[in-house]
Structure 1
Amino acid sequence: MKTDNKVIRRQKIRYGVRKKVAGTSATPRLSVFRSNSDIYVQLIDDVDGKTLASASSKDKEIAAQKVTKLEQSKLVGAAIARKATDLGLSAIVFDRGGYLYHGRVKAVAEGAREGGLKF
């Protein structure tokens, strides 16, 4: 039952964050999803309801490297930053998806910032 409470708690936080954070085509929302083994990020334009770009730890170039999950998360952040700059985007809004800004979620944000994105 504890797992159910965790999931419900995260969903409630996520809904609260989504009320405040919305992406546009000029400043898309960087949405983070973290599973036990992998991490996924998307650049989302909420006005049109489209995903502009995505990256995950399952991408071939990231999965091929034998690094820790924290280092993988930083690489995912750098990968999404590269894709965003290719699209001509430099500013985003960060959606932590109800997760604490700590650990792998923080590593994604740091990797994206080092890649040139502004939050």
Structure 2
Amino acid sequence: MANSKRDLFQKRRQRVRNKLRKVNAGRIRMSVHRSNKNISVQLIDDVAGKTLAAASTLEKDLGVVGKNNVEAASKVGAAIAERAKKAGVEECYFDRGGFLFHGGVKALADAAREGGLKF
């Protein structure tokens, strides 16, 4: 195999991110990272280079420490929507990275939309 799985993932992540940047210049980016055990999300202002809000299954107050399933992703999505409102963010764009938009990533996005975020 010419490319490793990691190399292919990085290429896919950059391809997705570059396409999104062209269309959504100046907007806040909602970046998702998923591992086998956890899922996390950040609202990033790329212009200022700062993270405005973040949520993860590693936080004890969400009650899903160490879980990466659809239920845990929904709780993280609801938490990021609430924190986004506190930070004054109503609209962003969804950067799924190199991950497929189904399962936990989709559940996180749906919960964030229900919480009031527009993307």
TM-score range, shorter chain: 0.7 to 0.9
Q: Deviations over 1:46-75 (max 9, x none)?
A: 11111111100111122358x872100010
Whether the 8 Å CA contact 2:57–2:64 is kept in 1: the answer is: no
| Residue number in structure 2 paired with 1:7 | 6
* TM-score relative to the length of structure 2: 0.86
Equivalent position amino acid for 1:100 in 2: L
CA distance in 2, matches of 1:64, 1:100: 22
* TM-score scaled by length of structure 1: 0.86
Report the Cα distance in structure 1 between the residues aligned to 2:95 and 2:71, rounded to whole angstroms.
20
Does the 8 Å CA contact 1:32/1:105 hold for their aligned counterparts? yes
Following superposition, the deviation at residue 24 of structure 1 comes to 6.8
User: What RMSD over aligned residues (CA atoms) do the two structures have, in Å?
Assistant: 2.3
What is the Cα deviation at residue 20 of structure 1? 2.1
Query: Distance between the aligned counterparts of 1:100 and 1:77, measured in 2?
Result: 16
Name stretches of at least 5 consecutive residues in structure 2 with no aligned partner: none
Q: Residue 21 of structure 1: SS of its match in structure 2?
A: helix
Please give the alpha-carbon distance, in whole angstroms, between the structure 2 residues aligned to 1:14 and 1:58: 23
Structure 1 pair 111–46 and aligned structure 2 pair: CA distance change class (3 A): same
Contact 2:37/2:68 (<8 A) preserved: no
Q: Give the secondary-structure state (helix, strand or coil) at the position aligned to 1:52.
A: strand
Query: Deviation of residue 92 (structure 1)?
Result: 0.7
Paired AA for residue 72 in structure 1: A
> Is 1:29 the counterpart of 2:29 in the alignment?
yes
- The 3-state SS of whatever aligns with 1:53 is strand
Quote the residue 1:18 is aligned against: 17
Distance 1:5 1:100 in 2: 18
CA contact (8 A) 1:30 1:95 kept: yes
- Following TM superposition, where does structure 1 have runs of at least 4 consecutive aligned residues deviating by more than 3 angstroms? 22-25
Work out whether residues 24 and 47 of structure 1, in 8 Å CA contact, stay in contact via their aligned partners in 2.
Answer: no
1:68 and 1:18 mapped to 2: Cα distance?
A: 23
Structure 1: runs of 5+ lacking an equivalent = none
